Amino acid sequence: MSAAKEILERLAGDSLPDWHLVESALRRKTLASGECLFLVGVAHPVVYFVKSGVIKMVYETYDGDAWVKAFAAEGRFFASIAGLSPGGVTSFSAVAACSASVESLPYHLLDQLGDKHPQWQRALRKGFELYGFRKEARERDLLTLSAEERYQRFIEEYPHIAERVTDRDIAGYVRVTPVALSRIKARIKLRQMDDRLDI
Protein backbone atom coordinates (compact mmCIF):
# COMPACT_ATOMS: atom_id res chain seq x y z
CA MET A 1 0.00 0.00 0.00
CA SER A 2 1.10 3.54 -0.71
CA ALA A 3 2.80 5.24 2.23
CA ALA A 4 1.32 8.57 1.17
CA LYS A 5 -2.21 7.15 1.27
CA GLU A 6 -1.72 5.78 4.75
CA ILE A 7 -0.53 9.17 6.03
CA LEU A 8 -3.35 11.10 4.40
CA GLU A 9 -6.02 8.72 5.72
CA ARG A 10 -4.61 9.06 9.20
CA LEU A 11 -4.95 12.83 8.80
CA ALA A 12 -8.51 12.54 7.56
CA GLY A 13 -9.39 9.97 10.21
CA ASP A 14 -11.24 8.16 7.44
CA SER A 15 -10.65 6.33 4.19
CA LEU A 16 -10.22 8.52 1.13
CA PRO A 17 -12.46 7.95 -1.90
CA ASP A 18 -11.29 8.24 -5.51
CA TRP A 19 -7.75 7.25 -4.61
CA HIS A 20 -7.33 5.83 -8.13
CA LEU A 21 -7.41 9.43 -9.42
CA VAL A 22 -4.42 10.19 -7.21
CA GLU A 23 -2.76 6.98 -8.26
CA SER A 24 -2.93 7.81 -11.95
CA ALA A 25 -1.87 11.47 -11.52
CA LEU A 26 1.08 10.56 -9.35
CA ARG A 27 4.53 10.99 -10.90
CA ARG A 28 7.67 9.45 -9.49
CA LYS A 29 11.03 11.17 -9.70
CA THR A 30 14.53 10.17 -8.64
CA LEU A 31 17.06 12.83 -7.77
CA ALA A 32 20.83 12.80 -7.40
CA SER A 33 22.28 14.82 -4.53
CA GLY A 34 22.22 18.49 -5.47
CA GLU A 35 19.58 18.05 -8.16
CA CYS A 36 16.81 20.63 -8.18
CA LEU A 37 13.11 19.83 -7.90
CA PHE A 38 11.81 23.34 -8.47
CA LEU A 39 13.25 26.83 -8.43
CA VAL A 40 12.14 29.88 -6.50
CA GLY A 41 9.80 32.32 -8.22
CA VAL A 42 7.94 30.00 -10.55
CA ALA A 43 4.29 28.96 -10.69
CA HIS A 44 4.42 25.46 -9.30
CA PRO A 45 1.14 24.15 -7.89
CA VAL A 46 2.53 20.74 -7.05
CA VAL A 47 2.66 18.81 -3.82
CA TYR A 48 5.51 16.39 -3.15
CA PHE A 49 5.85 13.32 -1.02
CA VAL A 50 9.30 12.09 -0.07
CA LYS A 51 9.76 8.35 -0.63
CA SER A 52 13.45 8.23 0.31
CA GLY A 53 16.32 10.60 0.93
CA VAL A 54 16.19 14.23 2.07
CA ILE A 55 14.96 17.32 0.23
CA LYS A 56 16.08 20.76 1.41
CA MET A 57 13.98 23.87 0.87
CA VAL A 58 16.24 26.87 0.42
CA TYR A 59 15.88 30.63 0.30
CA GLU A 60 18.47 32.26 -1.91
CA THR A 61 19.32 35.87 -1.07
CA TYR A 62 20.39 38.49 -3.58
CA ASP A 63 24.00 38.20 -2.38
CA GLY A 64 24.19 34.47 -2.96
CA ASP A 65 23.71 32.94 0.48
CA ALA A 66 21.38 30.00 0.69
CA TRP A 67 19.44 29.56 3.91
CA VAL A 68 17.67 26.29 4.56
CA LYS A 69 14.03 26.81 5.41
CA ALA A 70 13.39 23.15 6.16
CA PHE A 71 14.36 19.57 5.40
CA ALA A 72 11.85 16.93 4.33
CA ALA A 73 12.78 13.27 4.78
CA GLU A 74 10.90 10.02 4.04
CA GLY A 75 7.20 10.17 4.74
CA ARG A 76 6.90 13.93 4.55
CA PHE A 77 4.70 15.97 2.26
CA PHE A 78 5.87 19.39 1.19
CA ALA A 79 5.09 22.24 -1.21
CA SER A 80 5.60 25.95 -1.46
CA ILE A 81 2.25 27.19 -0.20
CA ALA A 82 2.81 30.48 -1.96
CA GLY A 83 3.20 28.54 -5.21
CA LEU A 84 -0.03 26.59 -4.77
CA SER A 85 -2.60 29.34 -5.12
CA PRO A 86 -3.53 30.44 -8.64
CA GLY A 87 -1.22 33.19 -9.83
CA GLY A 88 1.22 32.57 -6.96
CA VAL A 89 4.87 31.66 -7.33
CA THR A 90 7.13 29.53 -5.16
CA SER A 91 8.94 31.38 -2.41
CA PHE A 92 11.88 28.99 -2.19
CA SER A 93 13.70 26.34 -4.19
CA ALA A 94 13.67 22.61 -3.44
CA VAL A 95 16.90 20.66 -3.89
CA ALA A 96 17.93 17.12 -3.02
CA ALA A 97 20.23 17.25 0.02
CA CYS A 98 21.27 13.68 -0.74
CA SER A 99 20.08 11.22 -3.35
CA ALA A 100 16.34 11.01 -3.03
CA SER A 101 13.12 9.88 -4.64
CA VAL A 102 9.81 11.69 -4.51
CA GLU A 103 6.26 11.47 -5.76
CA SER A 104 4.47 14.53 -7.09
CA LEU A 105 0.82 15.45 -7.41
CA PRO A 106 -0.81 18.50 -9.02
CA TYR A 107 -2.45 20.58 -6.30
CA HIS A 108 -5.57 21.28 -8.35
CA LEU A 109 -6.44 17.59 -8.13
CA LEU A 110 -6.33 17.74 -4.33
CA ASP A 111 -8.37 20.93 -4.44
CA GLN A 112 -10.98 19.19 -6.62
CA LEU A 113 -11.06 16.13 -4.40
CA GLY A 114 -11.51 18.46 -1.45
CA ASP A 115 -14.51 20.11 -3.08
CA LYS A 116 -15.97 16.73 -3.95
CA HIS A 117 -15.40 14.72 -0.77
CA PRO A 118 -15.53 16.02 2.80
CA GLN A 119 -12.99 13.37 3.79
CA TRP A 120 -10.49 14.94 1.42
CA GLN A 121 -11.31 18.47 2.54
CA ARG A 122 -10.68 17.33 6.08
CA ALA A 123 -7.40 15.67 5.15
CA LEU A 124 -6.26 18.88 3.48
CA ARG A 125 -7.33 21.01 6.38
CA LYS A 126 -5.56 18.75 8.86
CA GLY A 127 -2.52 18.79 6.61
CA PHE A 128 -2.34 22.57 6.65
CA GLU A 129 -3.04 22.55 10.38
CA LEU A 130 -0.03 20.28 10.85
CA TYR A 131 2.04 22.50 8.60
CA GLY A 132 1.08 25.55 10.68
CA PHE A 133 1.98 23.66 13.83
CA ARG A 134 5.46 22.86 12.47
CA LYS A 135 6.03 26.40 11.24
CA GLU A 136 5.07 27.69 14.69
CA ALA A 137 7.76 25.50 16.22
CA ARG A 138 10.38 26.60 13.70
CA GLU A 139 9.51 30.25 14.22
CA ARG A 140 9.81 29.80 17.97
CA ASP A 141 13.23 28.21 17.62
CA LEU A 142 14.47 31.02 15.40
CA LEU A 143 13.10 33.63 17.80
CA THR A 144 14.05 32.23 21.16
CA LEU A 145 17.10 30.01 20.75
CA SER A 146 20.75 30.88 20.18
CA ALA A 147 22.58 29.43 17.19
CA GLU A 148 24.23 26.84 19.41
CA GLU A 149 20.93 25.79 20.95
CA ARG A 150 19.35 25.52 17.50
CA TYR A 151 22.18 23.24 16.38
CA GLN A 152 21.91 21.02 19.45
CA ARG A 153 18.16 20.75 19.08
CA PHE A 154 18.47 19.93 15.39
CA ILE A 155 20.86 17.03 15.83
CA GLU A 156 18.85 15.68 18.77
CA GLU A 157 15.51 16.01 17.04
CA TYR A 158 16.48 14.94 13.53
CA PRO A 159 19.53 12.66 13.87
CA HIS A 160 18.38 10.65 10.84
CA ILE A 161 18.55 13.84 8.76
CA ALA A 162 21.69 15.27 10.34
CA GLU A 163 23.72 12.21 9.46
CA ARG A 164 22.80 12.36 5.78
CA VAL A 165 23.24 16.03 4.87
CA THR A 166 26.39 18.16 4.76
CA ASP A 167 27.43 20.43 7.62
CA ARG A 168 27.06 23.24 5.15
CA ASP A 169 23.33 22.57 4.85
CA ILE A 170 22.97 22.14 8.60
CA ALA A 171 24.62 25.54 9.00
CA GLY A 172 22.10 26.97 6.54
CA TYR A 173 19.27 25.51 8.61
CA VAL A 174 20.69 26.77 11.91
CA ARG A 175 21.16 30.17 10.26
CA VAL A 176 24.90 30.53 10.68
CA THR A 177 27.79 30.31 8.22
CA PRO A 178 29.63 27.00 7.84
CA VAL A 179 32.63 28.58 9.58
CA ALA A 180 30.53 29.51 12.60
CA LEU A 181 28.99 26.04 12.74
CA SER A 182 32.44 24.50 12.79
CA ARG A 183 33.33 26.73 15.74
CA ILE A 184 30.12 25.81 17.53
CA LYS A 185 30.86 22.11 17.09
CA ALA A 186 34.41 22.61 18.41
CA ARG A 187 33.02 24.53 21.41
CA ILE A 188 30.57 21.75 22.24
CA LYS A 189 33.21 19.04 21.91
CA LEU A 190 35.56 21.01 24.17
CA ARG A 191 32.85 21.40 26.78
CA GLN A 192 32.06 17.69 26.67
CA MET A 193 35.74 16.89 27.32
CA ASP A 194 35.78 19.34 30.24
CA ASP A 195 32.67 17.70 31.66
CA ARG A 196 34.35 14.32 31.51
CA LEU A 197 37.40 15.61 33.37
CA ASP A 198 35.22 17.21 36.05
CA ILE A 199 33.87 13.88 37.26
Site of interaction with its own copies (CB under 8 A): 59, 61, 65, 67, 69, 80-82, 84-85, 91-92, 114-115, 118, 121-122, 124-125, 128-129, 131-133, 135-140, 142-144, 175
User: Which residues pair with residue 52 across a beta bridge?
Assistant: 101
- Decide which of DNA, its own copies, none touches 59; Cβ closer than 5 to 8 Å per partner kind: its own copies
Question: What Å distances lie between residue 182 and 53, 189, 194, CA to CA?
Answer: 24, 11, 19
Q: Write a three-state SS string for 88-100.
A: CCCCCEEEECCCE
Instruction: Select 22 or 176, whichever has its Cβ closest to its own copies.
Output: 176
- Decide which of its own copies, DNA, none touches 81; Cβ closer than 5 to 8 Å per partner kind: its own copies
Provide the mask over 3-42, with x wherever binding to DNA is found by CB under 7 A and - wherever it is not.
----------------------------------------
Residue 123 sits in the site that holds DNA (CB under 7 A): no
Residue 188 sits in the site that holds DNA (CB under 7 A): no
Beta strands in the chain (DSSP E): 27-31, 36-38, 46-52, 54-60, 66-73, 77-78, 93-96, 100-106
**Min separation Cβ 55 and DNA, Å:** 16
Instruction: Select 5 or 175, whichever has its Cβ closest to its own copies.
Output: 175
- Decide which of DNA, its own copies, none touches 182; Cβ closer than 5 to 8 Å per partner kind: DNA
Residues 3, 179: Cα–Cα separation, whole Å: 39
Residues 98, 147: Cα–Cα separation, whole Å: 24
Question: If you write DSSP's letter for every residue of 119-153 in order, what string do you get?
Answer: HHHHHHHHHHHHHHHHHHHHHHHHHHS-HHHHHHH
- Decide which of DNA, its own copies, none touches 180; Cβ closer than 5 to 8 Å per partner kind: DNA
Helices (H) and strands (E) in the chain, counts: 9, 8
**Min separation Cβ 179 and DNA, Å:** 4
Residue 67 sits in the site that holds DNA (CB under 7 A): no
Do the Cβ atoms of 42 and 80 come closer than 8 Å?
no
**Min separation Cβ 17 and DNA, Å:** 45
- Where on the chain is the footprint of DNA (CB under 7 A)? 146-148, 166-168, 175-186
